[in-house]
Structure 1
Amino acid sequence: MTNTSELVTTEPKPRVDRLTQRLRDPRPLLCGIVNVTPDSFSDGGSCLDHAAAVARGLRLADEGAGIIDVGGESTRPGSRQPGVAEELERVVPVIERLTRATSVPVSVDTSRAEVMRAAVAAGASMINDVRALQEPGAVRAAAELGVPVCLTHMLGSPATMQRDPRYDDVVGEVVAFLRRRVEECSEAGIPDGHVVVDPGFGFGKTLEHNLELLASLPTLGQLGLPIMVGLSRKAMLGQITGRPVRHRRTASATAAVLAVQRGARILRVHDVAATSDALKVLDALASVEVPR
């Protein structure tokens, strides 16, 4: 296993500063997914080998990703959480190699304080946490590390979240949860300029919940923080189109465009090139002045 005390951090502050500035840019930012797991819903096992994971990250960077998100825990419905040592061994070597090979900022997708600290020591510039820094020590670690964080709403845990999820008001409850998490981050010393929010599509939501959240992204925008969305290849798109996970690229790119139109700033995607092309079309249309 990698000894994190021996890792050499590659120019961490300039990367963090550039990423923080980019998060405030109104232009959409693509976050490419690298799952170093055997059981992720879309590409489980394809990047479990470190070399394959690094190669995928570099390919996503070449395709236009502005962030490379590396995760060692599958959070698909019903998944089990790996041990800390196992998660560290999956992600730390990949992050270290990616940060040496590309200037694109690397994010670590984790909920554990130990993994956050090791990942940032290896060069990660952001923490993406589906549990919104609620695990023991996570808020403190994020505050001390001084990197941007993404807070995601999830009902329950990956093992239970899709067992009959219920809300009285899904939009109101998601916004209220994220507001509470943002306030706790602020109290811990994490500045608003380092916080991104994610409504958590598919994390304890039915198709109807997901569609209502997508339609209501402007309400989430009232928090005044950048919004990340993860719609890529999700089950909701399969429910809508009837297509298996590997054939949801078109639906994913369409959903990404719809999310941007409703205020999403960061798009966490598997298919960076296809999503980038879709956003170029949207951008071209937005630049046209229609005669009155």
Structure 2
Amino acid sequence: MTVDAGTVDAGMLRRIGAREFDFTRQVAVMAVVNRTPDSFYDRGATFALDRAVDSALRAADLGADWVDVGGVPFGRGPAVSVGEELDRVVPAVDAIAAARADLVISVDTNNAEVAAAATAAGAAIINDTSGLGDPCMAEVVAGSDAHIVLTHSVGPPRVEKPAAHFDDVIAEVRGFLVERMARAEAAGIPRSRLIVDPGHDLDKNTQHSLEITRCIAEFADLGAPLLVAVSNKDFIGESIDRPQGERLAASLAAMTACILGGARIVRMHDIAETVDAVRMTEAILGMRQPARLEHNTHPTHNV
């Protein structure tokens, strides 16, 4: 499949923060920066403010288009007060924005108060894993210039939930996203500031996440750029029987499958490897030209 250079979807042309994106011709790499002591992946490695900022700047140097700063993991665990989440997130956004004005910053939060403070500090995107679970979230984002990622999940984060069940996971996740897009627009957020995420592993089991990956194209035609967050998740580990720390290759495979199906933003941990895989996939799709052309481009001389 080659991208038609003459086709431009206006809904996929975005100015986010200081950057311009044409998601008909590029895939954006979103780096994960966790200011949490209990992240499932890094186990607090970037909890300290200086380490979080250094991680964000290093990701930018490696080719990340933006960084996603989170102060509270989605999974079950002890409650984190709004004040503590603010203390974790806002100083990081301030410091990253001051150091790299060209870097897009998103904040992973489902709390409207945190979203308001984060956008005031320089965040250009609110990554809401609850999909407008906070009734004030849409109003807060509508009153800013920020984009919002509307993610499918079931019920509030950080609590124990029943075993995941869907009669038709694709239809139900798609229906949820369509409804939340309509809710966001009704609150005053233009469609040009909406991004959607089917929420791999969020209140879903491995079979659900695999089905979403197989059918990812079902979410790429909703009229908003499609984000996927597959990096190092449990469905990866369960699919190939690999613990954390041994899931990079499989994460890149899942990410690539999603890009081929229409995903245009990828939220990943291992940035150097991700950038290489994304750029190669863009080249295969005809979104970008090779960095150089040398192989078999010169006549062979027989001696």
TM-score relative to the length of structure 2: 0.86
| Uncovered stretches (5+) of structure 1, i.e. residues with no partner | 1-13
Query: Offset at 1:284?
Result: 3.3
Residue of structure 1 equivalent to 2:224: 225
Superposition RMSD in Å: 1.8
- Against the structure 1 CA distance between its residues 93 and 160, is the aligned structure 2 distance closer, same or farther, given a 3 Å change threshold? closer
Query: Offset at 1:114?
Result: 1.0
Pairs within 5 Å for 1:192-211? 192-211=191-210
Pairs within 5 Å for 1:177-192? 177-192=176-191
Q: Determine if the alignment matches structure 1 residue 153 to structure 2 residue 152.
A: yes
Other structure's SS at 2:143 match: helix
Residue of structure 1 equivalent to 2:46: 47
Q: Residue by residue, what CA displacement relative to the aligned partner does 1:46-80 show, whole Å, maximum 9, x if unpaired?
A: 1111000000000111111111100000112x223
Question: What is the distance in 2 between the residues matched to 1:86 and 1:176?
Answer: 34
Query: Offset at 1:208?
Result: 0.9
Query: Offset at 1:134?
Result: 2.1
| Uncovered stretches (5+) of structure 2, i.e. residues with no partner | 1-13, 290-303
TM-score relative to the length of structure 1: 0.89
Q: Please say which of residues 66-75 and 79-88 is displaced more in the overlay.
A: 79-88
Residue of structure 2 equivalent to 1:98: 96
Q: Residue by residue, what CA displacement relative to the aligned partner does 1:63-103 show, whole Å, maximum 9, x if unpaired?
A: 11111100000112x22341000000001101000001112
Query: Offset at 1:23?
Result: 6.0
Question: What is the distance in 2 between the residues matched to 1:162 and 1:65?
Answer: 34
Contact 1:79 1:158 in 2 (8 A): no
In structure 2, what residue type is equivalent to 1:203? L
Contact 1:74 1:81 in 2 (8 A): no
Residue of structure 1 equivalent to 2:106: 107
Residue of structure 2 equivalent to 1:214: 213
In structure 2, what residue type is equivalent to 1:71? G
Other structure's SS at 1:22 match: strand
Residue of structure 2 equivalent to 1:8: none
Contact 1:148 1:195 in 2 (8 A): yes
Residue of structure 1 equivalent to 2:260: 261
Contact 1:40 1:75 in 2 (8 A): no
Residue of structure 1 equivalent to 2:84: 86
Q: Which has the larger radius of gyration?
A: 2
Residue of structure 2 equivalent to 1:6: none
Question: What is the distance in 1 between the residues matched to 2:108 and 2:232?
Answer: 18
Residue of structure 2 equivalent to 1:175: 174
Other structure's SS at 2:221 match: helix
Q: Please say which of residues 198-207 and 214-223 is displaced more in the overlay.
A: 214-223
Residue of structure 1 equivalent to 2:7: none
In structure 2, what residue type is equivalent to 1:83? S
Report which of the two has the higher share of helix. Answer: 1
Question: What is the distance in 1 between the residues matched to 2:265 and 2:45?
Answer: 24
In structure 2, what residue type is equivalent to 1:191? P
Question: What is the distance in 2 between the residues matched to 1:80 and 1:69?
Answer: 22
Contact 1:161 1:203 in 2 (8 A): no
Query: Offset at 1:45?
Result: 1.0
In structure 1, what residue type is equivalent to 2:152? H
In structure 2, what residue type is equivalent to 1:230? A
Pairs within 5 Å for 1:19-168? 19=19, 21-22=20-21, 24-76=23-75, 78-102=76-100, 103-160=102-159, 163-168=162-167
Other structure's SS at 1:246 match: coil
Other structure's SS at 1:55 match: helix
Query: Offset at 1:18?
Result: 4.2
Count of equivalent residues: 273
Contact 2:73 2:158 in 1 (8 A): no
Query: Offset at 1:105?
Result: 0.9
Sequence identity (%): 37
Question: What is the distance in 1 between the residues matched to 2:22 and 2:163?
Answer: 35
Q: Determine if the alignment matches structure 1 residue 238 to structure 2 residue 240.
A: no
Other structure's SS at 1:133 match: coil
Moved over 6 A (4+): none
Question: What is the distance in 1 between the residues matched to 2:92 and 2:59?
Answer: 14
Contact 2:17 2:104 in 1 (8 A): no
In structure 2, what residue type is equivalent to 1:182? M
